[in-house]
Structure 1
């Protein structure tokens, strides 16, 4: 029992480092060290099911070398890309091995909830005690106290749904569960994140069984589309301004969200419009460069390739003309590994999502199937806006690794 507690505590520290330490390199070193510790401790047996599931992610690491061999890149940029592609493999393996060693569904869920509770207390406490949030803008609060934290959404759903499965109650007193749900709700609201609000809806659909394509789902989807259309028509009448504060600033960000991802008809000299549609501009530049080098559509440009922005963007103190990682995860994978890599990436995410269609009767088995499918749906969505599994800071892959163990076990 003591060994399980120690492993759970170390895992918690590793995940909190991922959330709070900005440096990608430091986190990668911490995760490599922790994974090495797990492997040397004898917890080295991965299930065939787990290896089959993550095989596309492993293949993407090697596929990136094909484009590298065809061109000459800076060694530092090559190492940087290899690190970005190998990190998801490390994290998935850590999640699997940690919860294989613990081997307890209840401890798995409680560990994720406790990690989320720590982040929620820090987030809410910081805003209420130190931010003077009544007089500050939403952008200032988000910039200082965090843009998003999706592990809190998953933890909230665990607390809501776990009592309805065969998994034993997570807490002896239900009041603890209700307090944590309230804490997560407040923290999520204070992130003022369009992506988090959207993910609550989509994850709710998935957790409650509406992710399968059937008549019931199509009705819900149709109703949702109608509500969204009416809401955007309402936003057009409000005309929220870009430099507004408070709720109006959030409404402006929601209004420009579709164009931020898809509107690539931009004038670089108009910086206001450019920043509002930055994700689309990055993707546009990557596709233009691929059109100039058609063979890159097959194998990609490889590890070490950079996207030329055509001007020095103020993304750092010195400004950056060339970038390696894009916000659009699909274009990022396509640019680095071509259509072969994009197919592998989509195959991995869809294989997770397809757990929704597995017919099971045991309720705890259903819970973990749906959990894995929900994470798949989560990454299918976030790959459009925050790089999917290749985002430099992400805690959900740890959760996925553990969920894959429990799904396979049940």
Structure 2
């Protein structure tokens, strides 16, 4: 049976997305992605645009910069290789999205694939919830236990909502089918009860509506929006919200402590409530303390293989006695700073800025693409602070970005969409 290249690479792309979400082994996912990219290099002629190379230079530089600290210090080989794999991950993600859709070469097909994958993921989410959680228990924690977040589903919602607005054509012939997919996606997204997903949804909405392009109108809108957020937090701190209460109280409590969870570093390690409510801040505190012992690390980082000493055995991985040394941090900025120093932070911010600035390029036929690339830059600017951004082991946005970077520079773009 003959399979077209378009279908072949679509199948591979879908496999990568679902494994990234549902296969818990980071190493297995990485080896599969390396294998798929290697297979592409073996059977296809490699041509990469200058624009794509420019956009990926920062993540390549970060990958190389991590070796600087490793050359200065001595670490275990296993930990060095593990860190290299983590910094290699975004490079592979960009290549998979870019190279595969270079062969598929159909933008509307790409958008529809993401929507259908998001829908399938939402259905699976419902099945998992019905099998493992009591939806009527009122416990947000029980509902979230098997689904922390899912950006594939979130992007699928926005693709479904905005594609017709930009291209005046529908992806699904049946209005009923479109509405059914949309409802399933919306309900599933809500049931993740994810603070990060809420912020990412806001960023996507503001970006696609043009409010992140710095004009006087956008600045006024963002000022009002910021004021509303501040008033919301004033409300949260003015009412009593208990930590261990079931239902929405627990979720609102997590929203309430979100800023302190990231930035507070004065933490009583013996007070478990204080420690776990501000765990991200504690990780940052320990990493920064260790960097002070090696002044050169502020410039080049501590390098691949370096670990953060938590000073106690924390129950983080399910191991009986817990772990005392960790390699990864929730705060991606501190993670990059710890491994690659100030140079790494500068390079990372350049990468995000390059993505964000895409929105200012006047490409009427590709406005949908440039708006989403710009939004992804802003999304990573935020998620790097909370869930390690591009270095998150479950991140699927990087694959979507890789495909967008191909279509950003594709010629005869509008004609292809309408075919």
Aligned to 2:159: 158
Aligned to 2:47: 45
Aligned to 2:353: 350
- Deviation of 1:46 (Å): 1.5
- Deviation of 1:240 (Å): 1.1
Distance 1:156 1:11 in 2: 19
RMSD: 1.4
Superposition pairs of residues 6-405 of structure 1, within 5 angstroms: 6-128=8-130, 130-135=132-137, 137-143=139-145, 145-166=146-167, 168-316=169-317, 317=319, 318-362=321-365, 365-405=366-406
8 Å Cα contact 1:106/1:168 also seen in 2: no
Please give the TM-score of this superposition, normalised by the length of structure 1.
Answer: 0.96
- Deviation of 1:125 (Å): 3.0
Partner of 2:137: helix, strand, or coil? coil
Residues 11-51 of structure 1 show CA distances to partners (whole Å, capped at 9, x for unaligned) of 10121011001110110111111111211121422111111
Higher mean C-alpha displacement, 125-134 vs 301-310 = 125-134
Unpaired stretches in structure 1, ≥5 consecutive residues: none
Distance 1:62 1:5 in 2: 35
Equivalent pairs, count: 407
- Deviation of 1:166 (Å): 2.9
Partner of 1:191: helix, strand, or coil? coil
- Deviation of 1:167 (Å): 6.8
Partner of 1:6: helix, strand, or coil? helix
Aligned to 1:3: 5
Distance 1:57 1:233 in 2: 39
Please give the TM-score of this superposition, normalised by the length of structure 2.
Answer: 0.94
8 Å Cα contact 1:105/1:167 also seen in 2: no
Unpaired stretches in structure 2, ≥5 consecutive residues: 414-419
